[in-house]
Amino acid sequence: MLLGANVSMSGSAMFEGAVAQAVSYGANTLQFYTGAPQNTRRKPIEAMKIPEGLAAMKADGLSDLVIHAPYIINLGNTIKLENFDFAIRFMQAEVARADALHAYAMPFHPGAHVGAGAEAALANIIKGLNEIIQPDQQVLIALETMAGKGTEVGTSFEQLAKILDGVTHNDKVAITIDTCHLNDAGYPVATDFDGILNDFDHVIGLDKLAVVHLNDSKNPQGSHKDRHQNIGFGTLGFDVLNQIAHHPALHNIPKILETPFVGPDKQHQHAPYGLEIAWLQSQTFQPEALKALADSE
């Protein structure tokens, strides 16, 4: 089972430090942003300590590095087309960074139509991806299933399939499914995940599934909220997420936790990933352990 978490590549340790974080959680795969997801400021490739990070991954048995694209890039915006060229250039550079890091996949939020309608957004996303994607790139751009907050697109398998069908270099695009997003978009994750996978296989194809974001949800099915919750503490529950983590159809797919930090206040926050990974590996839910961590300073 490939199971990891979203970690941080920051400070002087950079890539090597991100690997050390993942190892401390008991992970065997990992995800990080190349910079803050809310902006496009990035360190040069030479400063990322890539040889050290790759050596650490090999030494500690980690594989299938996932690099998340920043979520402020909106290829679906046809209202402010003046931002489109910048988004293309930035994503081309982000692909180059991911390739330099030897990344396997890049989850990417498709975008939002901001009032122009889903069809206009989908067409613009296809146009953008056809400018970004090069035939010799290594990293897969893995379009993420979205919850439907605001005017987001990519909320159904049919919309994602339309984007995939429009991309020229189709072998360079794939899909990330997020369990919280699927639930909030209206899919019955808690009651019929096998049915969801069957639907995905018919509409897109399981061979296109590259990454799973394994998150509980704070909201009921169809809420369109996109609010992640810790494993076992949300509306999906531990048994459902444990089943997904161990699903035979997903065995070789990286499953990444993006659950909230916990703590008594904003100054004392702790990553839950070591506990959550241990629960999923042992298939034993111990909620009192997270509650104790949340109460600790």
CA–CA separation, 241 vs 234, rounded Å?
Answer: 10
Q: Is 136 annotated as a binding residue?
A: no
| Three-state SS at 84 | helix
Q: Is 169 annotated as a binding residue?
A: no
Q: Is 46 annotated as a binding residue?
A: no
CB of 29 closer than 8 Å to CB of 65: yes
CA–CA separation, 220 vs 98, rounded Å?
Answer: 35
Q: What is the CA angle 106-109-111, rounded to 5? A: 145
- Can you read off the two tokens belonging to residue 170? 């189709």
Q: Is 158 annotated as a binding residue?
A: no
Query: What do you get for the CA distance between the two ends of the chain, in Å?
Result: 32
Q: Is 181 annotated as a binding residue?
A: yes
Return the DSSP state at 112.
Answer: B
CA–CA separation, 77 vs 118, rounded Å?
Answer: 10
Q: For 84, left (φ over 0), alpha (ψ -120 to 50), or beta?
A: alpha
Q: Is 144 annotated as a binding residue?
A: yes
Q: Is 109 annotated as a binding residue?
A: yes
CA–CA separation, 257 vs 277, rounded Å?
Answer: 8
- E strand or H helix at 18: helix 14-24
R_g of the chain, CA atoms, integer Å: 18
Q: Which residues are known binding-site members?
A: 68, 109, 144, 178, 181, 213, 226, 228, 258
Binding residue numbers for Zn(2+): 68, 109, 144, 178, 181, 213, 226, 228, 258
